[in-house]
Structure 1
Amino acid sequence: MATVPYIEFAGVRFNSLAGQGVIVTGGASGIGADIVRAFAQQGCKVGFVDRDEAAGRALAASLPETFFESVDVTDVPALKAAIERLAARTGGVDVLVNNVANDQRHSIDDITPEFFDERIAVNLRPHFFATQAVLASMRGKGGGSIVNIGSGSWKNKTPNLSVYATAKSAMQGFTRCLARDLGRDNIRVNCVVPGWTMTERQVSLWVDAAGEAEMDKQHCIPGRIVGMDIAHMVLFLAADTARMVTAQEFVVDAGWA
C-alpha cells in the first residue's frame, strides 16, 4: 500500500507576510492544511473554514495565531458569516486562498442535476462568495492577494471527473477576469494548479501500483508532489515578492501537463 511521503522543507521566509491576516477555505486536511501550516510558519494570523470540525480544531490548536470555523461551504450565508468572524480575529484579510474542493469520482452516465449542482456548490460557488466576503477588508487595507487552487486533472484528461474538472477549469477564467476587476484596488489574483499531490485522501483512495507507474512515467522530475510543494507556491504569490504578478496560472506538477 502506498504511503504519504514526508518531506521536510528548509525554512523559507517571506518577510512581507509576517503579521498578515490570511483566510483559507477547506483548510482542515490535505493541501489546505499544509497551506494553513505554511502561513502560520510565516508568522501570519490564519483563519480557515472546513466542515470537518474535529480535524479543524486539532489543526488550529497545534499552530500559533490560527483560528477555525466549522462551516458547510455550500451554505453561502454561513460561509460569509464565518469569514467575517475569522477576519475579526486575524485583523482583517490580506490574503485569501480559495482551496475548498471535493474530487469524488463520478461517471457521466450517473450524474443527476442534483449531483451536478452539489458539486458546483462545493468546487466553484464558494470561491466567488468567499472572494466577495473579503473584498471590503482588502480594499480597506489598500490591497491584497487572492490565490485560487485549480487542478491538473482537466489538463491531464483524468477519467470520471467531468463535473469536478469543469469547475476546476473555470478557475482560469475566474482568475483572469477577477484580476482585471480588482487590479485597480491593488488586489492581485492568481491560480495555482497542483498535479497529483500525495495527500492522505489520494493515497488511501486512488494511488495504486498503476498510479505510481503513471507518475514515474509522466513526471519530468523524479519523486512525488506533496502539499508543501503547493503551499510554497501559494506563499510566493501571497508575498510582496509577487507584487506585479496577477492573472496568471502556476502549475506545480513535476512537468506532467
Structure 2
Amino acid sequence: MTDHPQADAFARYPSLAGRTAFVSGGATGLGREFVAQLAAQGARVAFVDVDAEAGAALAAEVAARGRPEPLFLEVDVTDVPALQSAIAQASARLGPITVLVNNAANDTRRAVDDIDVAGWDEGIAVNVRHHFFAAQAVRPMMRAAGGGSIVNLGSISAHIDLVELPVYITAKAGIEGLTRTLAREFGADGIRVNCIIPGWVMTPRQLENWVGDAERAKIMAAQCLPELLYPADVARLLLWLAADDSRMCTAQSWVVDGGWM
C-alpha cells in the first residue's frame, strides 16, 4: 500500500463514497493497492485472496488509517462456488456490489515444454475463468441498483515480447475479448465493463523474482516515459473507471504503461 508524497494532489471521487466494491486477489501486489485506494475514497471494500495472513494484515492496516475496514475472505478464485459464495457474503454484509475488480492472477514463468494439460487448465482458471463467473454473480445486484462498473485486469504481456508465459498471455489476451462481449451483454442494465492493461508494474513479487538491472534497462528503453511504474499509478486509473466520472466509458482497454505499447 503506497502513499504518494503528494497524494492530496490526486482526484477524489464522491460517487465512490459508500459504494460497495469487491476485489479479487486483493491481499498483495496491485490488488493490495486497489483495496487501499478504494477504501481511502470511502468505499466499502470486500476482497478475497489465498494469502490469509496478508489479507488480514491489510484489513487491519486500512482500518488503522481511519478508513472503512475492508472485509477479507480467504478464497481461491479457481474454486468458483467458493468465489460465488464470497460475493454473496460480501453483498449481505456490506450492501449490493456495484464495483467489481477482477484482479487475481498468477504469472509464474513456465517453459512451453513443461506445461501439461493440468497446468494449462490451472493457468486458465486462475487468470481468466473467474472473471466471467464473478461478473455473472454481481450482474443481478448491479442491475437492481441501476448499474455498476466491472474492471478486468489485462496485461501488457499480451502485446510485447515476453517468454515463458504462454498460458498467462493467452488468458490475458482473452480478458480483452471477454471485456468487450460482457460490455455488450450488460450494457442495457447500465453496467459498464472495462479492461485495464498495466505495463510492467514494480510490485514486491516482480522486484523479488524477475526485475533486475537488465529488466530495468529494458523497461527504460521501451517506455516513452523513463520512470518505473508502481501500483498507485494503476490504481488511480481504476478509481476513475469505478467512479461515475467515467459513466459513458465501456468496452474499452485502458493502457497505463509509461508509453511502452
TM-score, normalised relative to structure 1? 0.96
Q: CA deviation at 1:219?
A: 1.3
Check the 8 A contact 1:22/1:90 in 2, yes or no.
no
Q: Write out aligned runs for 1:241-252 (5 A).
A: 241-252=245-256
- Mapped to 2, the partners of 1:100 and 1:207 lie a distance apart of 20
Q: CA deviation at 1:65?
A: 3.2
> Which residue pairs with 1:170 in the alignment?
174
Q: Percent identity?
A: 52
Check the 8 A contact 2:60/2:69 in 1, yes or no.
no
Q: CA deviation at 1:171?
A: 1.1
> Which residue pairs with 2:109 in the alignment?
105
> Which residue pairs with 2:18 in the alignment?
19
Q: CA deviation at 1:7?
A: 4.1
The residue type paired with residue 81 of structure 1 is S
What SS does structure 1 have at the residue aligned with 2:158?
Answer: coil
- Mapped to 1, the partners of 2:234 and 2:174 lie a distance apart of 19
Aligned equivalent of 1:200, options 201, 204, 223: 204
The answer on 1:150 being equivalent to 2:154 is yes
The higher-RCO structure (CA 8 Å, 6+ apart) is 1
- Mapped to 1, the partners of 2:187 and 2:117 lie a distance apart of 36
Q: Write out aligned runs for 1:115-194 (5 A).
A: 115-194=119-198
What SS does structure 2 have at the residue aligned with 1:62?
Answer: helix
Check the 8 A contact 1:123/1:168 in 2, yes or no.
yes
> Which residue pairs with 2:74 in the alignment?
70
TM-score, normalised relative to structure 2? 0.95
Where does the alignment leave 5 or more consecutive residues of structure 2 unmatched? Answer: 63-67
- The runs of at least 4 consecutive aligned structure 1 residues that moved more than 6 Å come to none
The answer on 1:43 being equivalent to 2:47 is no
The answer on 1:234 being equivalent to 2:238 is yes
Check the 8 A contact 1:192/1:251 in 2, yes or no.
yes
- Mapped to 2, the partners of 1:140 and 1:9 lie a distance apart of 38
Q: CA deviation at 1:223?
A: 1.1
Q: CA deviation at 1:126?
A: 0.7
The residue type paired with residue 43 of structure 1 is G
